Chains A and B, each alone.
Chain A
Amino acid sequence: MQLIQFAHGLLPFLAKWPDWVVYLAVVFLFAFAILNTLVAPLTGISTYIERRLAGRAQYRWGPNRVGIRSLLAAMPITRPISKLADVQPFKFIGSKIPGGLLQFAADGLKLFTKEDIIPAQADKMLFRLSPYVVMAGSFAAFAVFPVSFWCSAINLNIGIFYVLGMSSVVVPGILMAGWGSANKWALFGGMRSASQIVSYEIPVAIALMTVVMLAGTMNMNEIVATQRSGYGIEKAGFLGWYLFRYGGLMIVPFVIYFIGGCAEVNRTPFDLPEGESELVSGYHTEYSGFRWSFFFMAEYSNMFAVGAIATTMFLGGPLPPYPVQFTESLPMLIRFGEGFFWFFAKSYFFVLVMIHMRWTLPRYRIDQLMQLCWKVLMPIALVWFVLMCGIKMARMEMAAPAEAPVVAEVHK
């Protein structure tokens, strides 16, 4: 509803329109903006960053050719402009820009023009339907992320619960891809992926439930609002974030969440479902061209979603690490930019961590993977949840001690 008021303030003539039309239009625009910033282009940019970092980790270059200059040189009309890069001021500027920035655009174009193969034996209905389910599941989770102060597409009261539900919608999509492809690798990969995602769902959910218990709300915006203050300070900066509250005890659920989150996006060290050396490519072995790229997009937007959930629940979401009163008097648009900057920076930090993990760590074995989930993360998460409940109870008891039992008064 904040969004509707914001839209009314921006465009006064909207007051004549019915409420629900304005609401639908605002949500649609917001969703469209998220799709065209945080999902599709960010996937491309993340692949570029990942390949550059991989190159660094493996002592090689990575993509460093396809850039603006090669784009200009490719077309006859703009070729003279590309010659400018040899002239001094542009040469200096050009040497500062990393090469290969447009590699992802070229790759996207290549995928777009590739042949779309559906195997003859495949269950064509499931094969076609699967990208829709995977994409819908990973995109719908973005609806409740507070991308800035009190600013999410939908101010849903069950926020984090909805995110958990929506991230599970991906599982049937993966199973459909695995089963519908009529391929042994795809079937293995789909089964492994589904069992891995559902197993790690439980420690992840318990870790997030700890935060919900402390915050007393499931609304993502309100969870962020509870992180403004902490340790008795009203505007506490980073001390208010749940990661640093309760004397650092919340670091354990955070670590459990992050390990589980990495497992849920099927990336190294948890990339058994698509382990290249044993399963070719896992559940999307038979997919090619543009149809495949939706799985890719869903994977990278899921990575960002894991980072965004960790940010919102443990790191204060759009809240800056300095106390908020420093910038509270600034104009609304700058405040929005400030919130978005911190939300994006913190979330993307986790994406970078995941990329580094992929190029640093070896792969788990399936029995180690399942034991880590059920025998390590799950008991610790459960015990920690009960521990935090106890601490919360002690606090509430100290804040408002129980009055003398009513029975005693009757005896008087």
Chain B
Amino acid sequence: MRYDYVGVLVFLVLAVGFVFIGMLAQRIVSGFLHTNRPNAAKLSPYECGEEPVGGTFIRFNIRFYVMALVFIVFDVEVVLLFPWARVYQELYAFYRTALFWDMLVFVGILALGLAYIWGKGDLEWVKTFEKHLSPAEKVARPHTKKEAA
């Protein structure tokens, strides 16, 4: 209907307002009770009570980046398939089985993509290039693909 997305806005505003009013009330109460007494030790990054070592904005595993890339591809697939799933029943009278084969081609191409990254080993959390490993290292790492197979 016409106003439906205004309703979404109402929900977002209410959620944001809930957090805002909660934090405001918390601040007022802590002002009365004087609970906020920061000091240098409290404000330092928490590392289980030890002195913080080095900077805190550290590098993270490159695997997260690869996962995000793979996700983007398949998320786009889902976004494009959703409208198809919605109209499948309605448009079947016009397009008959062609509708099904269209979807199959689309899903098939993406399944090929999945098979490709699977075969390349990009879905493994620990990706190893066994051609770079010496025989001794291969024995030491039984979880590499060739050893497992």
A194 proximity list for chain B (CB < 8 A): 64
Give residues of chain A (352-399) contacting chain B, Cβ–Cβ below 8 Å.
366-367, 370-371, 374-375, 378-379, 382, 385-386, 389-390, 392-393, 396-397
Whether A27 touches B10, Cβ cut-off 8 Å, given contacts A184-B58, A290-B26, A390-B100, is: yes
Contacts A23-B7, A115-B30, A115-B36 given: A155-B1 contact, CB under 8 Å? yes
**1/0 per residue A34-74: CB within 8 Å of B?**
01000010000000000000000000000000000000000
A402 to B97, CA, bound (A): 10
Cross-chain contact B14 with A139 (CB below 8 angstroms): yes
The residues of B that contact A116 with a CB separation of less than 8 Å are 23, 26-27, 30, 36
CA gap between A411 and B74 in the complex, in Å = 46
Are A135 and B70 in contact, CB atoms less than 8 angstroms apart? no
Q: Considering the chains assembled together, what is the distance between the CA atoms of A182 and B58 in angstroms?
A: 9
Interface check B47, CB cutoff 8 A: yes
Residues on A with beta carbons closer than 8 Å to the beta carbon of B103:
386, 389
Per a CB cutoff under 8 Å, which of A27, A198, A386 touches B104?
Answer: A386
Flag if B111 contacts A117 (CB, 8 Å): no
Task: A142 to B10: give the CA distance in the assembly, Å.
Answer: 12
Docked complex Cα distance between A382 and B87 (Å): 18
A135 in contact with B18 given A112-B26, A121-B56, A286-B46 (CB within 8 Å): yes
**Count of inter-chain pairs, beta carbons less than 8 A:** 218
What 1/0 mask marks residues of chain B from 73 to 90 whose CB sits below 8 Å from any chain A CB? 011001001100111111
What is the CA–CA distance of A382 and B110 in the complex, to the nearest angstrom?
10
Q: Inside 8 A of A390's CB, which chain B residues have their CB?
A: 100
Task: State the Cβ distance, B69 to closest chain A Cβ, in Å.
Answer: 11
User: From residue B86, how far is it (CB to closest CB) to chain A in Å?
Assistant: 6
Q: Report whether B75 and A198 are in contact in the complex, using a CB–CB cutoff of 8 Å.
A: yes
Chain B residue, CB-CB nearest to A383: B111
Given A115-B30, A116-B26, A139-B11, residue A202 in contact with residue B71 (CB < 8 A): yes
CA distance A366 to B67 in the complex (A): 12
Interface residues of A (CB under 8 A from B): 1, 19-20, 23-24, 27-28, 31-32, 35, 40, 112-121, 131-132, 135-136, 139-140, 142-143, 153-157, 161-162, 179, 181-185, 187-188, 191-192, 194-195, 198-199, 201-202, 205-206, 209-210, 212-213, 216-218, 280, 285-286, 289-291, 294, 366-367, 370-371, 374-375, 378-379, 382, 385-386, 389-390, 392-393, 396-397, 400, 402
Known: A117-B42, A119-B44. 13 other contacts (CB 8 A): A19-B3, A115-B37, A116-B36, A157-B4, A181-B45, A182-B56, A194-B64, A199-B71, A213-B86, A290-B26, A374-B70, A374-B118, A382-B111
